[in-house]
Structure 1
Amino acid sequence: MAVYTKDSRLSEPIFEDPSIVAVINRFGIFLGVGDCTISEICADAGIDTDFFLAVINTYLNPDYFPERIAERTHLSMVVNYLEKTDHYYERIQIPNIDRHFNLLMQRKADCGSESCGDNNLQLLNKFYLEVRSDILSMIRDDIDYWFPYLKFCDNVSDDSFHKGYGIHDSRKIELPYDKSNIEDKIRDLISFFVIHLKGDYDRNLCVAVVSAISVLDKDIRQNNRIRDRILKPLCERSL
């Protein structure tokens, strides 16, 4: 898989994997990039090129490990990116799944066929709401606790702030990048659709629901890679 550099055209990773559009949007970069290089676009937008490259290469390439990232990137830069990612989940992706799932359940309620009542959609919806609650809880934990804490740690070394959070040894805190439980639950939800759905249901809406969940699943997994390979080294240096 290609590793992109400052001289690569930004259109190249977009053509490779269009899901990267959501990532560059978090930097304030949108479609219509022309033939500009990554370096040119980052310069125009006032974005740190090394950090931008670390994010898109880590997101796209499971074998990519950014070199010396802890020496070249501020912790607050990563946190700002992850904040925008969480807001995207909360305000765009989850509401999109909600809309499609609610319509799917409404079609089930309106269906007069006996087989509509025995298609396992009620159980799938119940499990989705559980997964949804877990994701939103993770986001609230990030936004209300971890991100303010990490931003502050990037600017000060005063141990009084750690104590204000009930943390007496900052080196012993559990860093906020292990989200494997969420990943597993989302995969289980997709598996339940694939294996256990039966009877009559709206096929098109079901495809829309599964597709939207799959997009969220991919984004969370690839951003967790960013947490592990970029946020983790920075936390270990700063805390």
Structure 2
Amino acid sequence: MGLVYADMKLCDIILQEPTLIPVINRFGISLGVGDKNVQTVCKENKLDTNFFLTILNTFINKDFFPEKKLKSFCASQIVDYLSKTNDYYEHFQLPNIERHFHSLLSHSTGKNNLEYIRQFFGELKNDLLKRIDEDRTQWFPAIKKASEQLTLLQPDVNDFSIDISEQRTDPLEEKLNDLKSLFIIHLSVECDENLCYGVIFAIYTLAKDIKQNNRIRHRILKPLSEALQLASAKTIR
């Protein structure tokens, strides 16, 4: 799908790219959007249209990543979006994969390696929940605190560089790829293909979501938080 714009109908965008449904949910938008365009929907929900469009375009287009535009947004906007993203991982996507695993296991008989694959998923789940907890209790509060301290002074914290050529390897992305490989390459059981597809699709959806949002985490929020911390330290002196 190409880029989406403010004058496009949100329903048309969702129909072409249904994986955006959980993304718009994080902005408080539910299905039943009618035939309103993006700008109207954002206005009715008191959302920053440019930020909303930037997140949507970043999610659906792997080559779209406007660092300069994202740098212009308030740090708290990015933190709030990623906080809701973490909530979605914890309360919806992870439980959804677990439900699919349980159904697949309960309908599979004979000797197989499904329990080993589920244990591998359990390790991945614990890693993701640990990162979510660190975000919630440490990193995100520190960013918001530094941002609030600098609100009155309004220093130019956007003066930081981003190495767009950097290829960052994320352990969670690697584990999700390994988990998909276990199913596709190493599955040692004849099982219900539909149930197996349900597990793989749920894993794929989580993997795509994490990959897209890691671009914002690593290439924007991390350098922005470092800039905020540096500016905050200078004002305290």
Q: Which residue of 2 aligns with 1:39?
A: 39
- 1:225-236 aligned at under 5 Å gives the runs 225-232=215-222, 234-236=224-226
The question of 1:144 aligning with 2:137 is answered yes
For 1:189, the aligned partner's letter is: L
- For residue 177 of structure 2, the aligned residue among 165, 183, 187 is 187
For 1:221, the aligned partner's letter is: K
Q: CA deviation at 1:203?
A: 3.1
Q: Which residue of 2 aligns with 1:127?
A: 120
For 1:123, the aligned partner's letter is: Y
Q: CA deviation at 1:232?
A: 4.2
What is the aligned residue count? 214
Farther-moved stretch of structure 1 (30-39 vs 186-195):
30-39
Percent identity of the aligned residues? Answer: 43
Q: CA deviation at 1:5?
A: 2.1
Q: CA deviation at 1:41?
A: 0.9
Q: CA deviation at 1:2?
A: 1.9
The question of 1:83 aligning with 2:83 is answered yes
RMSD: 2.2
Q: Which residue of 2 aligns with 1:164?
A: none
Query: Separation in 2 of the partners of 1:17 and 1:200?
Result: 32
Query: Separation in 2 of the partners of 1:106 and 1:234?
Result: 47
For 1:134, the aligned partner's letter is: D
Q: Which residue of 1 aligns with 2:146?
A: 153
Farther-moved stretch of structure 1 (181-190 vs 192-201):
192-201
Query: Separation in 1 of the partners of 2:89 and 2:206?
Result: 8
Q: CA deviation at 1:106?
A: 3.1
For 1:64, the aligned partner's letter is: F
Q: Which residue of 2 aligns with 1:59?
A: 59
Query: Separation in 2 of the partners of 1:16 and 1:225?
Result: 23
Query: Separation in 2 of the partners of 1:232 and 1:49?
Result: 23
Render the CA deviation track for 1:19-66: whole Å, top value 9, x for unaligned: 111101100111122221111111111001111111111111111122
Query: Separation in 2 of the partners of 1:226 and 1:83?
Result: 12
Q: TM-score, normalised by structure 2?
A: 0.82
Render the CA deviation track for 1:169-225: whole Å, top value 9, x for unaligned: xx9xxxxxx671100100110111111112333333222211211111111111112
Q: TM-score, normalised by structure 1?
A: 0.81
C-alpha spacing 1:61/1:233, structure 2 compared with 1 (3 Å): farther
* Gap regions ≥5 residues in structure 1: 159-170, 172-177
* Gap regions ≥5 residues in structure 2: 152-159, 161-167, 230-237
